[in-house]
Amino acid sequence: MEYRQLGDSDLSVSVITFGAWAAGGWMWGGTEQTGAIEAIRASYDLGVTAIDTAPVYGQGASEEIVGEAIKGLPRDKIQILTKYGMRWDLTKGDFGFKSQDNSGNPIDIYRYAGKESIMKECEDSLKRLGTDYIDLYQMHWPNKTTPIEESMEAVLRLIEQGKVRQAGVSNYSVEQMQQAETVVKLAANQVPFSMLNQSINESLVPYCLEHKKGILAYSPMERGLLTGKIKPGHRFAEGDHRTGYRFFKEQNILQANDLLEKLKPLADEKDASLSQLVIRWTIEQPGITAALAGARNAEQAIQNAKAIDISLSTDELVFISQQLQELELV
């Protein structure tokens, strides 16, 4: 495994980080706890020491699964990345969207990051994770009703109390990062990035490179689309958010599969799966510190971790870029 420093902070993470959203089941058509725990442990055995989760993933389920999975492992060898600012248990802040919990009960998701809420969320997360500190504490989504400074002051207090090592954000613009940094130093921004979605290259990547901020790329597999297993007409399980997600429009699925067909000979040449090729490409991109890769069982987790064994030459990276330039997604 390879490890990289998050910006100029004292926190290093495995360049392939375990993404535990799907492990929590919420919006992914349910969860299987035993498989998820085995996936995290199998990843750890192959050097994947960083695990990214959030309270809202399964309304606590994902954090509990992570907590169970790391029991007995050396805590100082693991980096726990979790978040705050998305509540399903109160009606405060910005209304986000209507959803269902893992039992099918309707819930409303709110974006709220008031100081007292963050302090409570942190305590709840520590309990579920079975630890006394969080390595990277990230604002999940911007919250319009709370000044960014108030939220960051709360995280600064948590750092002073030793409950949080480093402050991070997720889905933040350059302007929002600058505002946050008037209060606390940020180690990283977690944002969507994939072969099909490279919008962060316009302003966020240059800013993070210049100011030494880490970038954690989430959805590098574009929620499974870049595995090559999703075909036109695919039917997702009930409660799976991908049904209405823009990249799963028929035309985009066709284009993604066409792209993967062009990349398959390169993957075959390296005795790698398409997923492994995509993960390796992601962590080779300028500014990207780590790629978040999810898995629901040990086999998927091992495949993801072994993407580190692939190497891509400059010519091969240029070839991939040329194929990506031909995409016309809707």
Active site members: 57
CA gap 184, 274 in Å, rounded: 39
Q: How many CA atoms lie within 13 A of 46 on its CB side?
A: 21
